[in-house]
Structure 1
Amino acid sequence: MDQSFLLMLSNLLHLHNSIDPTTSLISSPTSTTTASSASAASSPTSLLTSSSAAPLLFFTIASVLSYIASSRPSSPSSATTPSAPAASSSSNPAAAAADYSVSAFRALSTEHIWSLEAPLRDAQWRSLYGLSYPVFTTVVDKLKPHIALSNLSLPSDYAVAMVLSRLAHGFSAKSLAARYSLEPYLISKITNMVTRLLATKLYPEFIKIPVSRRRLIETTQAFEELTSLPNMCGAIDGSPIRLHKQNLSANYKCRYGYPSVLLEVVADHKKIFWDVCVKAPGGTDDATHFRESLLYNRLTSGDIVWDKVINVRGHPVRPYIVGDWCYPLLSFLLTPFSPNGMGTPAQNLFDGMLMKGRSVVVEAIGLLKGRWKILQDLNVGLNHVPQTIVACCVLHNLCQIAREPEPEPWKDPEENGMPPRVLDSEKSFYYFGESLRQALAEDLHQRLSSR
């Protein structure tokens, strides 16, 4: 018989005896029985043969209480502290899974999280999901109606949290499945659903070309304060995103020797992306990738109209973006005169300022990979690689707009390469860009020299 049950029953008998000593169930003070019979009478098991109704009543009560006690979880505190898993969780899969259950997440998001001061709360949320609690709720609110249409059996905020945890820490589907007690295929399915929604439903809202006059003036003025160059509205650069899969064709091998796909972004002065393109394997050069992008087609066709034109030495200067020498020189994309400082003083000064403006996109890419570590070794199916990268870019913009603390940036190796050749279809853009660049260089040199 269970020891806890016997102890509980014995306590009940003693309680009865103290309340009503005239009908002691343990022993009678006037009894003349032997020590052995007294011992037998005092045993809880002797109640089973008693003719009194009271022992049977107490036996029934004790049985019910024993059953209730045995059915309660032995460690109720585990559900109230999901953010601080026990040290033994790594060696106990069941305990680790409990830390990441729906009930544990609910306790964290609705109870424990509000017992903390806002800075501590948000710091804890960033360590788990890569962004603060208010930004997280913004993401959930925007995705919830779309997730509801998928008939997902998990709560929307829990599913989003799980995917953000994977993006922020770079977990594989298999490792996340063990943590959340779900099958790896289900983790992949949920990841693909959430990243697809981020890359399609939220992209138009958070990644937009600065065509409105107010935003365009704000952007060009900020770049002019940084570089002294007028009408600059963005900086472009490409970066290879390493793929976890190794058995890919040779055209996926980037200039650094690992399999990848190429990410191209244009960023503004706040390190917010206003264009994102992922259309080429890692072995593609930046110029080719740019020429295959929708942005290039819109710029060359005149589809994008920037309503801000200034005059520099007789040249009409429309808003333009800047890039390094791996990009073609065009009227809307200015590049340095020389990659090694072999130009005139005016040209070298222009190159230095141009590269200073370009630095914002380098920093933005570093923050993107530092904040969403899955991009350091992307472990999703090849078909879902582009949407996962774009989803991380959307989340990056959300964080920059909300002024989230910037993490330690990821550093890509220094770029090198030859300037691309000019295509026949680009010659008019090239010649105009060449004269425009020279006019800007001479104007900049004269303005700064006269100070």
Structure 2
Amino acid sequence: MVASASKRSKTTSKTAAVTTRKQISPELLSLIATAASAAHTFLLHNEPHLLPSQVLSLKSLISSLPLPPPNTLSVAIPSADWFRFFRMSPDTFSHLLSLISPSLSSSLPSIPPDSALASAVFRLAHAASYKSLARRFNFPSPADACRVFYTVCKAINDKLGNLVDLREDLGRILVGFGWISLPNCCGVLGFGKFDVEGELLGPNGSLLVQALVDSEGRFLDISAGWPCTMKPESILNQSKLFSGVEESRELLNGPFYELSDGNLVPQYVLGDSCFPLLPWLITPYVRHNEEDSFGSAEKEFNAVHSRAMGLVVDAFGRVKARWQLLARRYKEECVDFLPFVIVTGCLLHNFLMKFSEPMPDDSDVECLKEEELLVFEGDVDENGRRVRDMLAEHLILSCLRKTTKELPSCGDTKLIALGLSQLSYANLCVGIAVILRGSIRCLFEIPVHCGGKLRGLLLMEPFIEYEDVQPQSKKIEAKLKGRMQQSVVTQTLAEK
């Protein structure tokens, strides 16, 4: 009986010990592991100066700790917390680890690769200090945590660089922009700003990052590390993208695209107004003085262009939201490493998009539009102007087709109502074109009261203008006579 009771007591004690061990929180486990690691380091460096009894006592205490080996990531991070900690699932983390593990093993032989990668990603995601990383991931010191962080960033840059390549999947890129009525467009070029502490770059100093993104927000080209005092055109001229187009001719050298009116446009990218207008870099129409006014085609082009430029803003916004280290002001003494870290964040952004990882719910960084850079005031390239005008005509006609609907036929006269609510005017503007024997003969203004004003429709070559007009159909018909045979509008409407 006594023996049986004793055995039950021992079993109960073991069960209680196991239960207690299971109840240790990850935070407490990390602190205990850090203390054990510190004690072991102290023992290694000071054993010759300690009494034998002290050495034996320390070794006994360290070896008796009921802990897994130091730096065991799977124990330190519960599976439910993986996404919150590292912005990715365990499977995606494992895939990333398999890509860079050989490099980390050779560069950091004393640090397990999974702990090295986890610490670097954790710092990116939460802007954790090196002191915090050393404690959480059992590194000997904050200096070691710093070394691990930049080693991982280098490995990611080396192994994931192929994820940023304009030529890698150009067909998909072209299709994506085709869906938003931008044929032969290969990307949107803009800037992101990353703030820096101190006075090195001025009171509100920052580094500029020139980036090309696709219609889904993937980075196709990154040029990082430019001081905010540099002019955008100077940055462009020194970038690999510019040399790849203008010098080596390796980029944007694909076939021309034939628009519906027969015009041919080359491959191009859209760029902000701070860039020069070039045949392959299409910027928005700019009003240089108060007297300048835009036609409907120019307004429609600028509206589409502005929406496309939002892709750059959103891409950088998501990078800062996912990697909060990049959303904060970087220390001035570390500014030399900031471009390196920014590129790492952008590469991981592309990597996580590839694996369909969602954005974190706890992100508190909004996709705010950056402060606008100054408008380029240099010479305008005439070939670039022609390409932009062709695209503007294409956009207005595409929008016109989307808003065109047929009315019932009336004898041999076919009526087409042009609903223009999706175009540049805020007020609804409706006109009726009379098509007789396959050609436009005249145009009538239909008075529509909208906002207390009358609106009308005026069709003019070479593209469509929408203006307030008086009900003078003969005068309008005279203006159109002799022009409409060559008009794209005539061909488009006649086909209807």
> Could you say whether these structures have the same fold, taking a TM-score greater than 0.5 normalized by the shorter chain as the test?
yes
Describe how 1:301-340 pairs up with structure 2 within 5 A.
301=247, 302-312=249-259, 315-338=263-286
Distance 1:100 1:402, change over 3 A: farther
Residue matched to 2:73 = 105
- Structure 1 residue 413: deviation in Å? 4.3
- Structure 1 residue 293: deviation in Å? 0.9
Distance 1:447 1:270, change over 3 A: closer
Residue matched to 1:128 = 85
Aligned with residue 416 of structure 1, among 372, 389, 394: 372
- Structure 1 residue 78: deviation in Å? 5.7
Residue matched to 2:302 = 351
Residue matched to 2:319 = 368
- Structure 1 residue 161: deviation in Å? 0.4
Aligned with residue 276 of structure 1, among 213, 222, 235: 222
Distance 1:151 1:399, change over 3 A: closer
- Structure 1 residue 130: deviation in Å? 1.7
Residue matched to 1:185 = 143
Q: Distance in 2 between matches of 1:412 and 1:339?
A: 25
Residue matched to 1:236 = 189
Residue matched to 2:106 = 149
Distance 1:176 1:356, change over 3 A: same
Q: Distance in 2 between matches of 1:410 and 1:292?
A: 31
Residue matched to 1:31 = none
Q: Distance in 1 between matches of 2:398 and 2:347?
A: 39
Other structure's SS at 2:269 match: strand
Aligned-pair identity (%): 24
Q: Distance in 2 between matches of 1:306 and 1:363?
A: 28
Other structure's SS at 1:420 match: coil
Residue matched to 1:434 = 385
Instruction: Indicate if the aligned counterparts of 1:342 and 1:348 stay in contact, CA closer than 8 A.
Output: no
- Structure 1 residue 174: deviation in Å? 2.7
Aligned with residue 127 of structure 2, among 167, 170, 176: 170
Distance 1:366 1:135, change over 3 A: same
Q: Which sections of structure 1, spanning at least 5 residues, go unmatched?
A: 1-13, 20-57, 59-64, 114-120
Q: Distance in 2 between matches of 1:187 and 1:368?
A: 23
- Structure 1 residue 97: deviation in Å? 6.8
Query: Can you list the C-alpha shifts for 1:406-447, whole angstroms capped at 9, x where unaligned?
Result: 245533344334321337xxx6xx221111101111222133
Other structure's SS at 1:218 match: helix
Which is further off, 97-106 or 155-164? 97-106
- Structure 1 residue 237: deviation in Å? 1.3
Q: Distance in 1 between matches of 2:194 and 2:137?
A: 27
Other structure's SS at 2:221 match: strand
Describe how 1:36-47 pairs up with structure 2 within 5 A.
none
- Structure 1 residue 100: deviation in Å? 11
Instruction: Indicate if the aligned counterparts of 1:271 and 1:400 stay in contact, CA closer than 8 A.
Output: no
Which is further off, 369-378 or 288-297? 288-297
Instruction: Indicate if the aligned counterparts of 2:72 and 2:115 stay in contact, CA closer than 8 A.
Output: no
So what's the TM-score if we normalise by structure 1?
Answer: 0.70
Greater Rg by CA = 1
Instruction: Indicate if the aligned counterparts of 1:102 and 1:158 stay in contact, CA closer than 8 A.
Output: no
Q: Distance in 1 between matches of 2:207 and 2:175?
A: 34
Kindly provide the amino acid, as one letter, of the partner of residue 178 in structure 2.
E
Aligned residues: 355
Residue matched to 1:195 = 153
Aligned with residue 170 of structure 2, among 216, 224, 230: 216
Residue matched to 1:34 = none
So what's the TM-score if we normalise by structure 2?
Answer: 0.64
> How well do the aligned residues superpose, as a CA RMSD in angstroms?
3.3
Distance 1:97 1:365, change over 3 A: farther
Query: Would you say 1:260 and 2:211 are equivalent positions?
Result: no
Instruction: Indicate if the aligned counterparts of 2:192 and 2:313 stay in contact, CA closer than 8 A.
Output: no
Distance 1:305 1:332, change over 3 A: closer
Distance 1:73 1:133, change over 3 A: closer
Q: Distance in 2 between matches of 1:105 and 1:156?
A: 10
Instruction: Indicate if the aligned counterparts of 2:123 and 2:129 stay in contact, CA closer than 8 A.
Output: yes
| Bigger fraction of residues in strand | 2
Instruction: Indicate if the aligned counterparts of 1:222 and 1:269 stay in contact, CA closer than 8 A.
Output: yes
Q: Distance in 1 between matches of 2:307 and 2:368?
A: 17
Instruction: Indicate if the aligned counterparts of 1:267 and 1:274 stay in contact, CA closer than 8 A.
Output: yes
Distance 1:282 1:412, change over 3 A: farther
Which is further off, 319-328 or 93-102? 93-102
Other structure's SS at 1:235 match: strand
Describe how 1:59-78 pairs up with structure 2 within 5 A.
76-77=21-22
Instruction: Indicate if the aligned counterparts of 1:368 and 1:393 stay in contact, CA closer than 8 A.
Output: yes
Q: Distance in 1 between matches of 2:373 and 2:193?
A: 15
Q: Distance in 2 between matches of 1:271 and 1:335?
A: 19
Q: Distance in 1 between matches of 2:316 and 2:389?
A: 29
| Bigger fraction of residues in helix | 1
Residue matched to 2:341 = 388
- Structure 1 residue 323: deviation in Å? 2.0
Query: Can you list the C-alpha shifts for 1:131-157, whole angstroms capped at 9, x where unaligned?
Result: 121211111100011112124311101
Other structure's SS at 1:322 match: strand
